[in-house]
Structure 1
Amino acid sequence: MGTGFCNTYKQFLAVRALFGIAMGGLYGNVAAMALEDCPQKARGIISGMLQQGYAFGYLLATVFARAFVNTTPHGWRPLYWFGSAVPVLIIIFRLFLGETDAYNERVRIRESGDNIGKTFVKEGKIALKKHWTLLIYMVLLMAGFNFMSHGSQDLYPTMLTNQYNFSPNAVTVTQVVANLGAITGGTTIGYLSQTFGRRFSIIVVCILGGALLYPYSFVSNERIMAAAFFEQFCVQGAWGVIPIHLMELSPGSLRAFVVGTSYQLGNLASSASSTIEATIGEKFPLPPKIEANGKKVPRDEYGKVICIFMACVFVYVILLTLLGPERRGRSLDAADDEDLAEAAGPDAVEKARHGAIREGSDSDEAKVGGEFNARRDSQ
């Protein structure tokens, strides 16, 4: 909402920075909530569906941008005013959801130890000491993935308009088709990763995505829509594996933090992708475009730039994925977390299972008391 009322660039930067802080805290928590209690056989498809909320949101943003931007006397501002209503719906939806069983189980185990605060801090220290190399790997991997999505998407509308003279409506349709491909790819490849493996699925779709780069960036007529569909099928197909892949790799005690932080640090690293592409594009100038009023508009060969840039990104992601670990099927239950058991003490897990929860517990399951635990033990 506030962005729509900014009148200077400094105001815009300040508001967007605050927005980024709030937005940045969502991804890790959302991934944990969606996948911690997910049945193991459904992890892949749920991961793909979760991640393609991004593509579906991008699709809606494309349509609404065409509907609201420069169609009223307020210019671009109505898009932000309209977008401010969406979080209200999400807040209402989240208010009706409880915590996950995995989270409640972890709280019970912490409460069964000597001091819940000390246990939590000790968990973090143990996780960082034992898994710091893995955390660095995840940040590097997410940098590659964010370069992959931003590198293939950010300058694509500019390429269609500036290089291939697409009309605003044609650009919108192409973007919608591309995001339909993204939604299809993310869900499909996420599902297949449950059978064929996380790394194998990522590597295969990256190879296919690389093979499709030429038509994606050099076809200059409406047939480019087909290339856009399948290219984003591959890009977001690889992304569809990421939520569950990161969840399975992350140490349990820092799962939401690690998933969210690695994603956002990767996003930070890739934020310069459009600037990099635009700078490279200046090395490949095209004849200027002459508008109806006689004004000359400079043009660059963004198709070639996107093709070269994305080829490098695909190679980087393939190599990093090939060299990295995979823990498909790993238990996400707190009872199976060795770091938590080490931090809370050897008897904490058994105490939690048998209802030895400290008085005044805040966990959802603790409120149910001995009846819940007795039912669980009987099973």
Structure 2
Amino acid sequence: MEPERFTSNTTKAIVSQFVGFLLDSYDLTMILSIAPILAKVLLPPESALLATFNIILSYSLTIIFRPLGSAIFGNLGDRIGRRADLIITVLGLGLASALTSALPTYAQVGILSFILFVLVRIIVGIFAGGEYAAGHPFAMEWTPYKWRGLVSGIVQGGFSFGAGLAALVEAAFIGIYGVSGVESFAWRYVFLTALAPAVIALAVRLTMSETPVFEDVKKKNLIRKTPFLDLFRKPYRRDFFQVMLYMTGMFFFAYSLFAFVPAILEDKPSVFSIGTAEQVYYYGTYAAFAGAVIFGALSQYIGRRRLTIMWAIATFIISIPVYYLLFHSASIGNYVFASIASIIIGIITQGPWGIIPIYLSERFKASMRSSGVGFGYSSGIFIGGWFSVYVPLMHNYLFKAIDTPTNIWFSTAVLLMIGAVLVGIGQYLGPETLGTKLVEEVQKV
């Protein structure tokens, strides 16, 4: 049965997934926002922009392994339950993220340092893919119907909050040790801080109960032998590919903020220091958290599909103007207008993510929900995850005259416009899910 009111288990489920998703983003943001520093630590000397692209490319290579984690742990979540799955994933994610702090530098072992960095990122990616496969359904299956949109936004907002927290922590370390100190040794301390949210999430999850929806699946004997493979069989195959198209656009949305706003703020002709750029960036990530919560709450009244399509159209229209505002403000050192641009970008790119936990949970039956949510979420990576290739290609071959030789603002704006088109079409091809029951009924023969 679905819960009809908030209980302590509902609160625990929300906190668990918020902190778990925060940890995922916290780790990823560390890589992206201090990419110039990591490039100096892990790679041989070369142009600053090229070195930064190499770090971002390694990030893309690692997130490609998230679907593998979603397949493994999503299938497990549908077989043994969401709770046990989540305990395994948060342990793996927290320890692997902290392991980054133990990596040798390029000065110590040469290019092996970068190879080891990529291997650790792969491990992180596998556990992160499993984290939302079981975590999103767990939170949604404990949430009463009328609160689903708001809770979905809060849970998904954990990602943006984690990004903002990571940027804030990194700015603090730079403020304390200076850029040279972070490059020399303090970057290790930055990654060790990932253990804190992992311990919190683990402590909460050890006290949780399995969801009533999954207990209902077991009671009705609906557990599937191969829930992951069932995604690609009729009649579910079309649903999966519709979700994949939609999520591809959503990943373009996400990394238009997380991957490239720091680069726009830090690379010439920007006159901001790394510390100032971090401050401007984390304004955008906190605005992203607010956008996700507001979007999720509104979807409970307007509808998931209708709201997303309207948002996609608006995003397509304002992409170039808002990225130009960010670029131009950074070029002349206007902190206020750069912050405004960062806030707007945070809201427009991350707001639609507020419905992802509930939308994907409503799109797949309870007996295959972890597999569907996890792999459906991750499926956007297959095409969307190569943003670190698309933007340099656009920059070098299409828009270099509009960008500058050292900045990629216009190419990033185009990436967001492409994402808006894919998101709009993806939602248009799917049904409205508002009102869908999360329990699964036994089919009558």
Q: TM-score band, normalised by the shorter chain?
A: 0.7 to 0.9
The residue matched to 2:405 in structure 1 has which SS?
strand
| Alpha-carbon shift at residue 274 of structure 1 (Å) | 2.3
Q: Note if 1:259 corresponds to 2:373.
A: yes
| Number of the residue aligned with 1:83 | 194
| Alpha-carbon shift at residue 32 of structure 1 (Å) | 0.8
2:264 to 153, 159, 173: 159
**Matches of 1:197 and 1:331 in 2, distance apart?**
15
| Alpha-carbon shift at residue 269 of structure 1 (Å) | 2.8
Cα pair 2:249 2:421 within 8 Å, conserved: no
Give the structure-1-normalised TM-score.
0.79
Q: Note if 1:64 corresponds to 2:165.
A: no
| Matching of residues 26-37 of structure 1 within 5 Å | 26-37=131-142
**Matches of 1:98 and 1:240 in 2, distance apart?**
25
| Number of the residue aligned with 2:414 | 308
- 1:271 maps to a residue whose letter is G
Cα pair 1:185 1:232 within 8 Å, conserved: yes
Structure index of larger Rg? 1
Cα pair 2:362 2:438 within 8 Å, conserved: yes
| CA pair 58-249 structure 1, distance change in 2 beyond 3 A | same
| Number of the residue aligned with 2:303 | 197
- 1:87 maps to a residue whose letter is A
1:148 to 230, 247, 253: 253
| Alpha-carbon shift at residue 277 of structure 1 (Å) | 0.7
**Matches of 1:15 and 1:308 in 2, distance apart?**
31
1:103 to 214, 219, 231: 214
| Matching of residues 130-145 of structure 1 within 5 Å | 130-145=235-250
Q: Note if 1:121 corresponds to 2:225.
A: yes
Cα pair 1:140 1:266 within 8 Å, conserved: yes
| Matching of residues 137-286 of structure 1 within 5 Å | 137-162=242-267, 163-219=269-325, 220-221=328-329, 222=335, 223-283=337-397, 284-285=399-400
- 1:216 maps to a residue whose letter is V
Question: Percent identity, aligned pairs only?
Answer: 25
Gaps of 5+ in 1: 111-115, 289-297, 347-379
The residue matched to 2:434 in structure 1 has which SS?
coil
Larger helix fraction of residues: 2
Q: Note if 1:331 corresponds to 2:437.
A: yes
**Matches of 1:210 and 1:166 in 2, distance apart?**
28
| Number of the residue aligned with 1:5 | 102
| CA pair 199-167 structure 1, distance change in 2 beyond 3 A | same
The residue matched to 1:129 in structure 2 has which SS?
coil
- 1:3 maps to a residue whose letter is T
Cα pair 1:282 1:300 within 8 Å, conserved: no
Q: CA RMSD in A?
A: 2.4
- 1:167 maps to a residue whose letter is S
- 1:68 maps to a residue whose letter is F
1:318 to 405, 424, 444: 424
**Matches of 1:190 and 1:205 in 2, distance apart?**
12
Give the structure-2-normalised TM-score.
0.68
Gaps of 5+ in 2: 1-97, 105-112, 330-334
The residue matched to 1:130 in structure 2 has which SS?
coil
1:142-180 residue CA offsets vs partner (Å, 9 max, x unmatched): 111011111333111111222322222321221121112
